[in-house]
Structure formats: C-alpha cells, structure tokens
Structure 1
Amino acid sequence: MRVTTDFWVSALLRRVFSAGGFAAIVKRGATEAGAVFVMSRNRLGETALYGPAPQTSYDSARPDERHFSSLNVGEDAAALEARLEKEKRFDPDIWVVEIEAGQTPVEDLISVTKL
C-alpha cells in the first residue's frame, strides 16, 4: 500500500533535517496523491529540479517507492520557477519541496532514476 503524499513529504523533510540540511514545503498539493517536485539548492547556489519519473522507471519488486528524474540541472532559479509554474497550470495539485541537502547527496534522500 502506497503512503499518502502528505506522509511521504513529511518523511522527506525529516530525512533532510536529520542529515543536517534544510527543507521547506513551497507548495502543498493534494494530501492523498499529489505529484511531488523537489527543488534542490546547494551551498554554492546551484539548483536542480526533480520530478516524478515515468511509469516505466518503476521497479516491480518495489512498486510503492517514489522515483524521480532530473528535469533541469544547473539552470538559474528563474528558469526552474517558470518550469514549476507550467507544471502547476497542468496539475494544480502538485507539491513543491525545496531542499538544501548540506553534505548529503540528493540521491541519498530521494530515488533518482537515470533516464
């Protein structure tokens, strides 16, 4: 059984904080099943955006795990904000979580699928 998006995001925030990073919910979406987008900033100001991976990326052995794919890396914050606005127009129920992972790589906090 897949956990609610609200519960999953809360767990992500705990993982980030326990790893010494910082996280905030920028946009709260549908509690039960909203899509999650993660914006990551490092201490040098570089940004990356991760969104839900295509369904073909999911592992049948672990069907309940959420997978992400890299959407934009290294672009300026304005380009990422524009991409998120486009996603919000398409689906107003999305979640946007911004993290500053600190010393921990983002790939250790979320499952990033290489496409």
Structure 2
Amino acid sequence: MMMERLPTKLWVDALVRRAQVAGAAAFVLQSGDQERGDVLIKVARLDGTAAAYIPTMNMEGERIFIDLIVQGIGPEETAVDAYIRKARDRDRDLWAIEIEDRDGRHFLTEPVEHPE
C-alpha cells in the first residue's frame, strides 16, 4: 500500500538533523522543490571514497533508496561528485545532500538496496 510522502523539505531537515545528532556533518548542496523534489544523497567517508543514494519505488509501492554503486558510480569520491554535478544541472528541483561520516553511515530510515 502506497503511503503519502512527507514534503521533501521536512524529510531533508529530518535527515540532516539525524546525521548531526549522531556526530556527522550534513549539508544541503542544492535545495529543490519544497513539496515533491527528488533527493540525491552523497555520503563522503573522508578518505577519498563516497557513496550516492537515490530514491525509487519497490514492487509494493514503498519508497526505497538505491546505492548507485550498482550503476558504477563510486566508490571514488570524484566519480560521485561528477554524477551529482550532472544531476543538479539536469534537475533544478533536485535536493542534493552531502553527509560527511568516516563510518559511511547514510542515516536513511527507508530500506536501502546495496549491490549483492
């Protein structure tokens, strides 16, 4: 059953706050549409590697996130940054969030699909 989504700004604010409370740094690189903008999350491990996550819907209509390593994006931080630049240029309604965490935590509460 598909659930109603929170406004994107509220969801982003909660993600940033979760990261900060846990001792990580989190920044909004680009603000998008406040109600329905898509979100791209970068997690920088501060060692030259990073991960990127984007939302999608699973077969049950639930929002999940995909680790873009499955599409060959990362783990080099430069590759993740290049992808984010292109995504930001394509979609002005996109929210781009960067989390800096040595442990690589993403702080998402939604399920995350990782490569097998």
Q: TM-score, normalised by structure 1?
A: 0.78
Q: Mark the CA change 1:42 to 1:22 in structure 2 (over 3 Å): closer, same or farther.
A: same
Q: Which residue of 1 aligns with 2:114?
A: 114
Q: Which has the higher contact order (CA 8 A, sep 6+)?
A: 1
Distance 2:45 2:52 in 1: 12
**Please, which runs of 5 or more residues in structure 1 have no aligned partner?**
none
| Percentage of pairs with the same residue | 31
The one-letter code sitting in structure 2 at the alignment partner of 1:46 is: T
Q: Mark the CA change 1:47 to 1:4 in structure 2 (over 3 Å): closer, same or farther.
A: same
Distance 1:58 1:99 in 2: 28
Distance 2:59 2:14 in 1: 20
- SS of the aligned residue for 1:14 comes to helix
Q: Which residue of 2 aligns with 1:42?
A: 45
Aligned-CA RMSD value: 2.1
Q: TM-score, normalised by structure 2?
A: 0.77
Distance 1:43 1:88 in 2: 22
1:30–1:94 Cα contact (<8 Å) kept:
yes
Q: Which residue of 2 aligns with 1:30?
A: 33
- SS of the aligned residue for 2:36 comes to coil
**Please, which runs of 5 or more residues in structure 2 have no aligned partner?**
none
- SS of the aligned residue for 2:13 comes to helix
Distance 1:97 1:26 in 2: 6
Q: Is 1:89 the equivalent of 2:89?
A: yes
1:58–1:67 Cα contact (<8 Å) kept:
no
Structure 1 runs of 4+ off > 4 angstroms? none
1:38–1:96 Cα contact (<8 Å) kept:
yes
The one-letter code sitting in structure 2 at the alignment partner of 1:76 is: E
Q: Which residue of 1 aligns with 2:14?
A: 11
Distance 1:98 1:104 in 2: 11
Q: Mark the CA change 1:89 to 1:44 in structure 2 (over 3 Å): closer, same or farther.
A: closer
